[in-house]
Amino acid sequence: MTDHRRQIPRTDAVLDDPRLAPFVLRMGRDRVKAAVNAAQRKARNGEIRPSDVRDETLRALPGDAPRQVINATGVLLHTNLGRAPLSTAALDAIRVAGGTTDVEFDVGTGRRGRRGGAALAALAHAVPDAEAVHVVNNNAAALVLAATALARDREIVISRGELVEIGDGFRLPELLESTGARLREVGTTNRTSVADYAAAIGPRTGFVLKVHPSNYRIEGFAATPSVGELAGLGVPLVGDIGSGLLAPEPLLPDEPDAATWLRAGADLVTASGDKLLGGPQCGLLLGRAGPVETVRRHPVARALRVDKLTLAALTATLVHTANPTRDALRADPAQLRRRAGALVVRLAAAGVKAEAVDTGAAVGGGGAPGVELPSAAVAVDGALAGPLRLGSPSVAGRVEGGRCLLDLRAVAPQQDEDLLAAVVAACS
């Protein structure tokens, strides 16, 4: 026991480890010392070996800011990579909003202003078919708010083909029921008719919910009523379009958009801000003045409100139509092929074996399932996938047939230099 304790390195000796120097600079010596002492305690208690005190200290210290990852997966909206990358305008707006700002202040009168007024105005301007708009933390929050404010202790009528799991084990039916609303399931997995909905509607109905199947497709002998048909049932209709397209996108003809669903008669449409809209994580609620005002004034709305950084980024995303997601979606395949070819030539000059190949990219992240976007990739040795991920910046590709494909559709052209450098570094 005494021997074991004697092997525990002294605090000063651990603090001399050069790997701790950046932490001491950033956090101050006392806070790093506290982490060393905690690791020493663990060693004394036998939870770790005395020789592991240095590593345990490093492990327990908070890592640096998020790591930049170049998205070469060929999936435009990768949930694990933070979905939509923000535009330069949105990033600039966040920098300004990070200080003291007019998020809830009227500079004209010097009085309190409408919180996020600029974002709400930009959203209303982008979707003239919406009489009113509201913004919350994400689309899941938008649905929770709609269910809480409009269907608590009442029924939400929904097709069995639209009982969606969003991801990471979270399921829309459970999310909706957690609010105190009851789900009234109608139809079958593959087919639901207007008559199914009509038969289920009654005095207990809060609203009919139509959910866009954004991460799966039901094909073959399948049918569901249109928004227009459901709007004629005489009860409120809420539509979850998921992807956040505000207007039709010609490249994704099967993807619903807010304007079209509102024009077809939906009372309220919900969507994510960080999918095809290309903005920050948030949830959009657009629709008739009555239901939007009801959700906006509900007490729970205060718990779901977005911060000033989100409002700033959303405003910039809506005002400036150019953003990396839209650019990636609309990228010309011939141009992608040219970029892949140029990178391969430069890699060869650096002694790295690589080949330009044609690929198929996907929207991902809950948008346009099954749609393949023609793309191009730089194919390198599959053994490089790990070193590429661990590099700085990190590069996430996809391994296929023993090769690591670095798909360029979701890589901004300005990132090509960094990508090239990262591949060269991963080879050495």
Q: Which residues bind ligand PLP (CB under 6 A)?
A: 138-140, 166, 211-212, 214, 240, 242, 272, 283, 366
Question: In what helix (H) or strand (E) does residue 207 lie, and over which residues does it extend?
Answer: strand 205-211
Instruction: Tell me the C-alpha distance between 239 and 188, whole Å.
Output: 19
Q: Are 246 and 259 in contact (CB under 8 A)?
A: yes
CB neighbour list of residue 372: distance below 8 Å, 6 or more residues apart: 360, 361, 362
DSSP helix/strand/coil, 25: helix
Q: Which is nearer to ligand PLP, 57 or 272 (CB)?
A: 272
Query: What's the rounded Cα separation, in Å, for the pair 8 and 43?
Result: 7
| Minimum gap (Å) between residue 209 Cβ and ligand PLP | 10
Closer Cβ to ligand PLP, 143 or 328, answer by number:
143
14/208 with CB nearer ligand PLP: 208
> Which residue has the CB atom at the shortest distance from ligand PLP?
242
137 phi, psi to nearest 5 deg: -65, -40
Q: Which is nearer to ligand PLP, 138 or 192 (CB)?
A: 138
* Nearest distance, CB of residue 257 and ligand PLP, angstroms: 13
Greatest alpha-carbon pair distance for the chain in Å reads 82
Minimum distance from residue 251 beta carbon to ligand PLP (Å): 18
Which residues, in sequence order, are CB contacts of 368 under 8 Å at separation 6+? Answer: 214, 243, 252, 254, 255, 362
416-427 vs 333-349: helix crossing angle, rounded to 10: 40
CB of 225 to ligand PLP, least distance (A): 17
Residue 94: HSE in the Cβ half-sphere, 13 Å Cα cutoff: 14
End-to-end CA distance of the chain: 45
Q: Which CB sits closer to ligand PLP, 74 or 283?
A: 283
Residue 281: CB minimum distance to ligand PLP, A: 7
Instruction: Give the nearer residue to ligand PLP in terms of CB position, either 42 or 210.
Output: 210
Q: How far is CA 95 from the centre of its chain?
A: 20
Please state the closest distance from residue 160 (CB atom) to ligand PLP, in A. 16
Cβ 48 vs Cβ 40: under 8 Å: no
Least separation in angstroms between residue 260's CB and ligand PLP is 15
CB nearer to ligand PLP: pick between 236 and 279: 279
Closest CA to 288 of 182, 134, 147, 405: 134
Q: Tokens 């950046």 belong to which residue?
A: 22
Distance in Å, CB of 423 to ligand PLP, minimum: 32
Closer CB to ligand PLP, 3 or 168, in the complex: 168
Helices (H) and strands (E) counted in the chain, each on its own, are 19, 15
